[in-house]
Structure 1
Amino acid sequence: MISARAMAEGDEGRYLRNQMAEALWSDVLLRVKKLGEGLNITETRAKIVELAEQLQATYIAYDEGLQADDVVLAGAIWRRFYQQKNVDLEHIELLVKYIRKNMRMLDSMSSEQFYDPKNIKWTSLKS
Structure 2
Amino acid sequence: MGYHKHYTRDEKSVAEPPQTGFYGGFLRSLAKVTGHYTVSQTAMRSTHRFYEICADQLNHKRSFWLDTCGLPDNFQTWFSITHLHVWLLMVRIRAEDHGKVFQQQLVNHFFHDIEDRMRYNHKISSGRIISTYMHDFLAQFHGGVLAYDEGMCKDDPIMAAALWRNLFTSSGTPDQIAILVDYVRKELQTLDTMPSDDFLEARRLFGTEAGPLRGVPGK
Asked whether the two chains share a fold, i.e. TM above 0.5, the reply is yes
Larger helix share, 1 or 2: 1
CA distance in 2, matches of 1:92, 1:28: 26
Give the equivalent residue in structure 1 for 2:104: 18
Give the equivalent residue in structure 1 for 2:92: 5
CA contact (8 A) 1:102 1:122 kept: no
Cα RMSD for the two superposed structures: 1.9
CA contact (8 A) 1:113 1:119 kept: no
SS at match of 2:203: helix
Query: Which of residues 175, 178, 203 in structure 2 aligns to 1:93?
Result: 178
CA distance in 2, matches of 1:65, 1:90: 18
Q: Which moved more, 1:43-52 or 1:95-104?
A: 43-52
Gaps in structure 1 of 5+ consecutive residues: none
Give the equivalent residue in structure 2 for 1:118: 203
Kindly provide the CA deviation profile for residues 15-66 of structure 1, in whole angstroms up to 9, marking residues without a partner as x.
22111111112112222332153x3x33331121111111111111111111
Larger RCO, structure (CA 8 Å, separation 6 or more): 2
Give the equivalent residue in structure 2 for 1:30: 116
CA distance in 2, matches of 1:25, 1:78: 23
Matches within 5 A, 1:26-105: 26-34=112-120, 35-37=123-125, 39=126, 41-85=127-171, 87-105=172-190
Q: Which moved more, 1:94-103 or 1:22-31?
A: 22-31
Q: 1:14 to 1:100 in 2, by over 3 A?
A: same
Q: 1:36 to 1:81 in 2, by over 3 A?
A: closer
Name the TM-score, length of structure 1 as normaliser: 0.83
CA distance in 2, matches of 1:121, 1:91: 19
% identity of equivalent residues: 26
CA contact (8 A) 2:156 2:181 kept: yes
Gaps in structure 2 of 5+ consecutive residues: 1-87, 209-219
Letter in 1 for 2:95: A
Structure 1 consecutive aligned stretches of length 4 or more whose deviation exceeds 6 Å: none
Q: What is the CA distance between 1:90 and its match in structure 2?
A: 0.8
Q: 1:100 to 1:94 in 2, by over 3 A?
A: same
CA distance in 1, matches of 2:190, 2:128: 43
Q: 1:46 to 1:67 in 2, by over 3 A?
A: same
Q: How many residues align?
A: 119
